[in-house]
Every structure is written in C-alpha cells, then in structure tokens.
Structure 1
C-alpha cells in the first residue's frame, strides 16, 4: 500500500476553502501567588514565592556592587569568577559536589550596577543550596592559585570579546551616552584583569559584599514561613558595615548627531540608536511599552517588516527598553551590510517619524497588546522565569503585586495613549547613537546629515 502525504497547504484547506483558524484563548494572569516580602535581621530583603509546579526552587540574589575606582571593574570581574571557587569549609570540588547531590547549581556574574547570583536545586535540597551560598558570601577564600587561573581565562576571553563588532558598538554607545560614568565600564581591560591581586579581591569582598540594600528572590515548591526561617538561619550570619553601593545616577540621554566609529575592513556596520525613556512606575509606561513593540519590539513590528522583510538590509533588528535603578532608555539595534548602511539609517529615521505621524492602527494595537500580555505570562509561567522577573523588578522597588497587575494595565491602554507615547518618545530629534563601520565603504553616509566623526 502506497502512503499518501498531504502538504501543509492541503492540510490547511477544505473543499469549501481555507480551514478557519481557532480563536485565540483567553490569556490569564498569574493571580493568587502566595508570597512573603520581608527583611532578615541583617537587612537583606527577601522575596519568597510559592509556585509548586515542579519540586524545585529557583534563587536569584542581587547585590549593588558599584565602584568609581578605574580598577573596580577588573577586580569585580575576578571576584565574580572566583566567588564559588572555594571557602574556608569547601574547596571548589566540594562546592560542586554538594550542589550536585541536591540537583543544584550556583553561578555569579557582575556588571557596573550589581553582582548577581543565580541558582536552583531540588526543593528538598534548599538547605544545602543556602548553606553553599552562605558559605561563599561569608567565607570565600579567593585562593591565590584560583585567582591566577581565573585571571588567565578572563584575560583571554575579554581580549577575544573586545574584538567583536557588537562589543565595540556597545562600548562606543555607552561612551557616547554617559562619558566617563562608571556605567561605561561594562567590560574591563584584559591588562587590568591581569594586574588584579588576590589581596585586592579579598578586600573588595570585605568592603562591598553587603546584605543591606541587597535582595534575594526565592521561588519554588516551598512553605513560605519555613523558607523565610531557612533563609534567616543560613544567611543571618552574613553581615557587614554600611549599605551596598548603588551606581550613581546616570545623566539623561539627549538627542543629537550620531557618532561614526571607524572600523577598517568591516564588512558590516553596527547601528545603535538611543533615546531617554521612563521607569516602569511611570503612568505612561504601558503605552510606551506597546508603542515600542509596534515600532520594533517584535518580529512583526514596523521596523523589522521594513528593513528585514521588505528591503532585506538586515537579518536582525529590534528596539527595546533598557532599565537602570533610576531610569530607562530606548534602544534600536541592528547590523547591516556596509553598502546599505546609509539606506538602513534612512529607513530607521523614516520609521521613527512614521510612528509619530501615523500611530499604530487598532489592528496593530490589538496585535502588540496580545503579544505583550502573552510574552509576560509565558516568561513568568516557570519558576526560573518568575524568579528572574521579580529580581529585575526588585531593583526598581517593585514586586509581585506590580507583576500581577501589569497585564490589566496593558489591557486598558487605549490607541490614543499609545499615539501620545509615540509622539513623546519616538520623535527623531530625541535620538542619538553610534554607527560602527568601514569608512571606505560608506561614501554616501554623510549625505544624510546628522552623523559626525568620532573625536
């Protein structure tokens, strides 16, 4: 018997025409979450959420970790890489073994704002997870050989990363936006990392690894009161004088010329545009979020349809909001072939003006509204997603209540409010940014105006 196969087009059709699509289901917010938000005796804020979907726990800790010393970024990077390499009670192997026995893991990273620790374990292994974390926070030894090993690895990785076009563009954008502000030092110099001493790392831990001003989020199959007691028992001994150091306020981003950063021999150009935005707590934020989605925030947005689908200038384009503790910015991010750099910039400027002069239609609004709500609900459906969302919100003083209520805010935004947000935030004169590329391949870029050479 010969098998018969139908194409996708045949499956989607009936004898009387295309098969109708089923209606979209109703998207439901994550309501009724059991949660506790309190402070331990050492001043650490803890947010504990019961979500018993699977017998696991997810942990996220955020410690403000800013510094103004030019060597701070290098020391902080080495510290984050060696925080879990050994303590007075456990060497690196013992740390890994104890976590593995409870299906757990812990990882540390750092940026100019804060040191972040992420981890997970079986719910039955929460005590072990917290004990390993507390051991690192209070007793990390930063052994000389571990520090030297990580320095070599980091220096090699940083040297490779700094040659990447995306990293060059990001560094140029940060320098253009914020000058000499500590936020610009997102990645240390390889030679600075090589100069860090174990003594400096230990001193940085002692001075800056502080519970007061920090936050820890715990989500999982847990009893709330018992989990808070476990946190107090494990972490109550983590103490220190003073408050964890927050990043100084960033200067506002002003619109103006784009800065051209030459990169000889580049076959692609990196375009990074930016404008000042608003915090999540601003009443206009939901409208801005939806306006941004319509402009360039997802695959079916105007910008993507124009420069990717219609013109074929790029494979990837997006616009998004980037948050800091006391503010936010909008960014447009795309790479294109050198010979269409001017064309791509022209179309980006066109779309910025178009969303101001021709705001999203009712159909566009319905699409981005459903996308925004669905994306949020999907992102918070898992324990890991919910923990990460809450940790990010906690740095802006927000918690579970804001997260639960946000789908309702998105649902209530009107087309007129989105049009107002587009006018307020997407007007072309509000934007600035950088272009990285090969000047020899961009002879027409200066025809557009508004682009100046890097000084």
Structure 2
C-alpha cells in the first residue's frame, strides 16, 4: 500500500499560483515603558544611574571614567601607562590579593573587567542581586587602593607587549591607526594603542601615580541595572564609594574639524589584501537630522541589505564585507566607510565605493529601502534594551554624552517619523564623495598605478 505525501515545501508555503505571498503590514510601533529609575550626582561629582529591571536576580554595573591624556606632549606615555593600569588593577589591593578579589566576586556570581581607550577607563561587571554590596565593595577597593605589585606588573606588561606586537601586525589595526592620524593628526585620540617599546618602559611607580592623579569621580558615570530598588542602590553606592573623592576626571579636548581631502596611500609591501577606509563629518544624537542620517547610512552599508554589500560583495565579488557606520563622541560624530579587498582590485573597489557614495547622494534611497532600514534600526534598538546588560551599556553610553535614558526610549518614535524626503536630504548632505578623506593601506607596487589613474589618492 502506498500513500501520497501532502507535505509542502518552503517554496510552496511562501507562494501562491499568482506569485509570492505578500508580507502582512507591520503593526504600530509599541512604546517602550519607562522603568523605575534614579539619576543623581553625588557630592563627589560621580553621576549614579540606578534602574530597576527585575527580569532575573542579577545586577549589571558599568562605570565610565574620563581618562584622557592632558599632558599636551606629542610623545606622551599616557596611553602605555593607562593600558598597563587597566591590565594590572585586578592584581590586588592593600587589603585583598588577586585570589581574594577573584574569590569574593565568584562568591556572589560576580565579575569585573577594566579596559581603557584614549577617552575613558571603563569598568564592566555583574553579580547576583544579593551580592551588590560585595560587588561595590570590591570595586571601591580597586579604585582606591589597587597596589599594582611589581612582580604582577612585570608579568602583565610582558603579556601586553606580546598582544600589542601581534595586533600591530594585523592589517585592520594598521588601517585604523593610519585613518586616525589622517583624520586628527597628533590629537591624543589617535593613540588608541601604545607601541610595544612604550609599554616596555612603563614602571610600577608611573602606574600608581596615574591611578592616584587621574582616576577621579568628578564627571564619571556609574550605572546599575537589575533587580534592585533604585533609591536604595544609590544609597549603597554612596556608602561603598564614600572614600572616592577628589577632583574632576580629565576629558579629551574637542577633536579638530574633519576636513575633506584626498585619500592617503599607506604602503604595505607584499600585502595580498588592501584596506579602504573613508571618513566624513556627521552629526550626533542631539541633532534633529540624526535619525534620517542613521537611515541613510543603513541604506548605504549599515547592514547586510545595503547598497555597498549588494555592489562590492554580491555583484562584483570584491569582498566578503563592506560597511558604513557612525562613530560618536561627546563632541559630534563621523561617518566611516570600510572594506578589505584583494590587492588586484584595490582601484576598482575604490571606484565602486565612490560610485555608491555618489549614487546615494543623487539617487536617494527608495521608499522600500527606507522602510527596510527603518524596521532594522527600530528592531536593533529595541533588542539592545531587552537585557539588563544591553540596557546598562546603552544607558552608560548615553550618559557619557550627556543624555538620559529617555533618549533611547523616545528614539524609535523619532525613527518612525522620518520621511523619505528627510532621508534623501541627509544622503545628499553627508554622503557626497567630495566630503570624505581617509586611507588606503595596500602594496603600492601592485595597487599604486590603478589608484593614480583613478585620482583623488596621494601616492608615494
């Protein structure tokens, strides 16, 4: 006896005899409810934001301390000392050794991590909700009395040198450093990673001196998100960090204006791939054009369903990845367009990148492109707020730019309100090829001829 299967395949389910089934219209965007929150500034100058999100019995912690180089010296050792500080601060305090720090945090399901960049020192951590006091106590001890032991520092410094040497050989790091210097010259923001020889010269005394002088509460932001009572959490922070007093943390000076000029060819002999990095001025979160700019950026290269990906990856096969993004800082924002391609197609890839920039400026995104980007952007924003960790990171980033958490809750409505004409205006204003500068990191012997023929590139 035989039977005939009536099971349908995906192609049959998704279509009708007349063609593909139309997608149902999206419903109205739901508003994001405001959680219970306290946002206050302590007498020390530390801003504390405590948010109740009780989905799981955990607390997420984010601390951002402005940690800029204010020496004014072009050959400053600040970046090297700061990196060593962030690497060794968990090595112990006057009252807790490294093992004791780890054990106390582990006992409350907790963890703390330190990182540093030219703008700030960042602490990320979490713990079970009933371990909040322990998490704060360990944090306070590290901030106030980390000892940076000589033997631990020597070992961590050697490991850091190895990591930096490996990183400096990576094409993406070479391209990033070259782009920063092309955009901002000798500004401290360009020192995102110290050189190995600079780290080798760092002493324990220099690290301890930097912690004492630069790790200050004034202007810093501490965010706690989780299963907590916000007012009570602020009181706990105030008690735990009562000893953390002093001046105001050092902030970066405003970045120099980003000006349009030719790209710079950075020679990397023997390279089999080239790195294209283009950048132009943009506007930040408080500008009324920001939402339209975000949508225009997505249409260009901000996600997989974008023009750059369709052209450089799907049509030409030049690359696996091409993107455009917005880099935000407290003073504004810049656009970055990037891709890595084989050496032999360096000039053609740059040509197509410029073509897509020009096409976006004069042939703006269609209504379908705008709507697709809108759905992606709103969805991504909402996803970033669904977890305690994501919400804590988002709130901390906003606070560092002088914004409150209400901004992120209200932004989906701003995105929904953007018209196709506003996206077209943003595309024309910000994405014209003549607005960009940047670098091409490539083997000049293989790629130089094509780039010179194309023009707009300074070549050796």
TM-score scaled by structure 1?
Answer: 0.96
Superposed displacement of residue 361, structure 1? 1.2
Q: Is the 8 A contact 2:324 2:338 kept in 1?
A: yes
Local SS of the residue matching 1:130:
helix
2:298 paired residue number:
293
Q: Does 2:57 align with 1:55?
A: yes
1:246 paired residue number:
251
Superposed displacement of residue 412, structure 1? 0.7
Superposed displacement of residue 324, structure 1? 1.4
Superposed displacement of residue 12, structure 1? 3.8
Local SS of the residue matching 1:444:
helix
1:110 paired residue number:
116
Equivalent position to 2:376, from 349, 371, 385: 371
Kindly report which structure 2 residues correspond to 1:296-445, keeping only aligned pairs within 5 A, or say none.
Answer: 296-442=301-447, 443-445=449-451
Q: Is the 8 A contact 1:41 1:232 kept in 2?
A: no
Q: Quick check: 8-17 or 305-314, which moved more? A: 8-17
Show structure 1 runs of 5+ residues with no match. none
Q: Does 2:32 align with 1:30?
A: yes
Question: Per the alignment, do residues 49 and 444 of structure 1 end up closer, same or farther by CA in structure 2, a change over 3 Å counting?
Answer: same
Q: Quick check: 32-41 or 381-390, which moved more? A: 32-41
Question: Per the alignment, do residues 20 and 413 of structure 1 end up closer, same or farther by CA in structure 2, a change over 3 Å counting?
Answer: closer
Number of equivalenced pairs: 453
Question: Per the alignment, do residues 327 and 18 of structure 1 end up closer, same or farther by CA in structure 2, a change over 3 Å counting?
Answer: closer
d(CA) in 1 for partners of 2:234 and 2:287?
A: 32
Q: Does 2:260 align with 1:258?
A: no
Local SS of the residue matching 1:117:
strand
d(CA) in 1 for partners of 2:356 and 2:338?
A: 14
Question: Per the alignment, do residues 258 and 3 of structure 1 end up closer, same or farther by CA in structure 2, a change over 3 Å counting?
Answer: farther
TM-score scaled by structure 2?
Answer: 0.95
Equivalent position to 1:184, from 179, 190, 196: 190
Kindly report which structure 2 residues correspond to 1:117-266, keeping only aligned pairs within 5 A, or say none.
Answer: 117-240=123-246, 242-266=247-271
Q: Is the 8 A contact 2:67 2:215 kept in 1?
A: yes
Q: Is the 8 A contact 2:66 2:220 kept in 1?
A: yes
Q: Is the 8 A contact 2:452 2:459 kept in 1?
A: no
Q: Is the 8 A contact 1:40 1:236 kept in 2?
A: no
Q: Deviations over 1:425-447 (max 9, x none)?
A: 11111101000011222131211
Q: Deviations over 1:346-366 (max 9, x none)?
A: 111111111111111111111
Show structure 2 runs of 5+ residues with no match. none
d(CA) in 2 for partners of 1:24 and 1:162?
A: 47
d(CA) in 2 for partners of 1:128 and 1:15?
A: 65
1:44 paired residue number:
46
Superposed displacement of residue 19, structure 1? 5.5
Q: Quick check: 2-11 or 317-326, which moved more? A: 2-11
Superposed displacement of residue 10, structure 1? 4.7
d(CA) in 2 for partners of 1:48 and 1:153?
A: 36
What is the root-mean-square deviation of aligned Cα atoms in Å? 1.7
Superposed displacement of residue 54, structure 1? 1.1
